[in-house]
Structure 1
Amino acid sequence: MVYRYESDQDVYEEYPEPGSDLAVPSGPPPPAGPSPSRFPAPSLRRPNQIALPSSPRPPARAIIPQAAPRSEVYTSAQPMEPPTARGGGRLWQVLIGGAAVLVLLALCGLGAAALLVDRDPQPQATPTYQPNAAASAPAVRQDLDSRDTDQAPLTAKEVFSAKELKLTDGQPAYRVLTTHSSGSCAVAATDEIADLLVRLGCNQVVRATLRTPDGDHLVTAGLFNLTDKVSAERVRDRIRQLLDDRQGRFRGLVGSEGDGSDVVATAPARIGWQVRGHYLAYALVVRADGEAVRSGDTKIREILFDMIELHLSRSVLQKRVDGGTATQPTAAPTESSAPQSGN
């Protein structure tokens, strides 16, 4: 340990008078500095040692402090912290740093969630279960190639559902004069054509008579329901020869008295037909005045196209295809036409 003076006056103590208690004993002075020790202390400058200032006063003899006991330890300029205090400080630093990291991560998560909410201000509602959801599933396409896959019979309401038949936007409508449905296909044809239909399995015919928008022509159009596509194609291929040989004809459907539809049963007509699936679609056109139709009359061709292709095939039969349960599509329809003489 370092001796500290009580006051500045102790440093400049004058020589004592002879005979006093403070007189210095005779003999050689004791060696300066601390006494020898088994653990030699390093020769370091003591930071708390006080330097004696110079003074014009007479030289004074400083009182030399006694050496520190061997059991004492020199203190350094900076006080040492206990080991337990340092370890505890590091533990607190680790705990505080970890807590700060957790708080920072929590703030980052809240900020990301706020950004997601801002980007999607109107979240979609969670769909709820609906027991009848299966009913809204898209229908499978119906196979029209056979009555086995298309068993529902035709009806007059299905084929001609209204009193006016509008086929093209912006164009006037055909006016339906009368409709008819029968389980005997022979009522719609004569002679060999009627026999051919019955022989190849035709079990139903649905037809109607209509007046054209300009009123100049009448048309009877309808569908024959045959067994399958093969039988319908056999009827199609045989009709022309029978018409050319005058071995049969299609009958026009006469409506009520006074509507002017009786001419379809007697006037020369132009016939058209085509096959789609197990159906044979047909139409016969006559002039409203009963005169013979001309072979180059483009108006006749337009009426046949309107009735057979636009209405019977693309409208009536296509609805059956879209609303059925089978998946096999039907082949592209074929069509033909021929003149038919009156009675």
Structure 2
Amino acid sequence: MPQPAPPMPAPVPAATNRPTVPIPANPTARAGDVSELPRARRADRRNGGSRFWQTLVGGAAVLLLLSLTGLAVAALLDERTATPSAGQPTPQPSESSTPAGGTDLDSRDTDQATLTAKEVFPTKDLVLTDGKPAYRVLKTQASTKCQVAATGEIADLLVRLGCNQVVRGTLRSPDGDHLITAGLFNLTDVATAQRVRDRIRPLLDARQGRFRGMAAGDDTEVVEKAAARVAWQVRGHYVAYCLVTRADGERIPSDDAAAREIMYDMVELHLNRAVLDRRAAAGTAGQPDAESAGDSAGQRGTD
């Protein structure tokens, strides 16, 4: 008998145009991956924005700190500059040594005009303080030999250090009880004048020299011989000095107020403020230094 024919396979449906969507092997995991990726990106964006602001704010804070530190350092430097440390001398305001239109008194190179007796003692009556009696000028002298106004080592010192002129005068005090010889030694510069100043007291104390008074007649010879009080001061290249004796030849005590007043009148008020201020033209050049102001001592009379 003939074998029945095998059944025909079922017809395959015709393919459609719809795309086939692959199904992932683990749908749950895949869904998690898809849903978490935007969240991570949002977090990264948030973190990145936060870090940006943190960096910006931190940088601003650093700049502010640096600026404040710089201001503090500047303030500290200013304070150190303005306030000297302990043990350091406080700087003093400096003055111009050569005022406009004036003369620098620190050297003969800048102060070349020689002194004259008329310049140092312009009148016969010197009124140094308003309302007080005048000193009477008895005699004046200008000499190129400085040794005429000193003896011994003081005279040698003046010559050795270049003194080329002395202008001096003899006066009587307003009360008539004292005789005075005062004047100016002309040295080469302020340094040599200071060297003379520094040596005067040791030489007087050792009795190796003295200042000479200048007799002016009328029973004034005592000014050449009697024990005296002397004072001296440096102003520029000049040494101003004053010798005071009693008119009766008696010794003057070291604490004698009248003698101190006379020395101040002659050295400070007359020779410094009147004569040399006028020469300096503005009154500020080469002011007397603090160490020399008020130097005074006694000297013995001659035998």
TM-score (norm 2): 0.65
Q: Give unpaired runs (5+ residues) of structure 2.
A: 1-98
Q: CA deviation at 1:295?
A: 1.3
Q: Which residue of 1 aligns with 2:248?
A: 289
Q: CA deviation at 1:139?
A: 5.9
Q: Which residue of 1 aligns with 2:85?
A: none
* Preserved CA contact (<8 Å) 1:209 1:261: no
SS in 1 for 2:210: coil
Write 1 or 2 for the structure with the bigger share of helix.
Answer: 2
* Preserved CA contact (<8 Å) 2:244 2:263: yes
SS in 2 for 1:280: strand
* C-alpha separation in 2, matches of 1:280 and 1:145: 12
Superposed CA deviations along residues 22-62 of structure 1, whole A, max 9, x for unmatched, are: xxxxxxxxxxxxxxxxxxxxxxxxxxxxxxxxxxxxxxxxx
Q: Which residue of 2 aligns with 1:184?
A: 145
SS in 2 for 1:249: strand
RMSD over aligned CA atoms reads 1.5
Superposed CA deviations along residues 64-107 of structure 1, whole A, max 9, x for unmatched, are: xxxxxxxxxxxxxxxxxxxxxxxxxxxxxxxxxxxxxxxxxxxx
Q: Which residue of 2 aligns with 1:320?
A: 279
Tell me whether 1:203 sits opposite 2:164 in the alignment: yes
Superposed CA deviations along residues 141-185 of structure 1, whole A, max 9, x for unmatched, are: 210000000000000000001111110110000001111110000
* Preserved CA contact (<8 Å) 2:106 2:189: yes
* C-alpha separation in 1, matches of 2:175 and 2:285: 37
* C-alpha separation in 2, matches of 1:148 and 1:161: 25
Q: Which residue of 1 aligns with 2:194?
A: 233
Tell me whether 1:142 sits opposite 2:98 in the alignment: no
Q: 2:212 aligns with which of 241, 251, 254?
A: 251
Report the AA paired with residue 286 of structure 2. T
- Structure 1 residues 317 and 331: CA distance shift in structure 2, 3 A: closer
SS in 1 for 2:240: strand
Q: Which residue of 2 aligns with 1:170?
A: 131
Alignment of 1:73-112 (within 5 A): none
Q: 2:265 aligns with which of 306, 316, 325?
A: 306
Q: Which residue of 2 aligns with 1:263?
A: 222
Report the AA paired with residue 332 of structure 1. P
Which ranges of 4 or more aligned residues in structure 1 deviate by more than 4 Å? none
Q: CA deviation at 1:296?
A: 1.2
* C-alpha separation in 2, matches of 1:317 and 1:261: 28
Tell me whether 1:330 sits opposite 2:286 in the alignment: yes
SS in 2 for 1:207: strand
Report the AA paired with residue 159 of structure 1. V
Q: CA deviation at 1:330?
A: 1.4
* C-alpha separation in 1, matches of 2:224 and 2:138: 14
Larger radius of gyration: 1
* C-alpha separation in 1, matches of 2:285 and 2:250: 42
* C-alpha separation in 1, matches of 2:287 and 2:141: 28
Identity %, equivalent residues:
66
Tell me whether 1:277 sits opposite 2:236 in the alignment: yes
Report the AA paired with residue 208 of structure 1. G
* C-alpha separation in 1, matches of 2:152 and 2:118: 29
Report the AA paired with residue 238 of structure 1. R
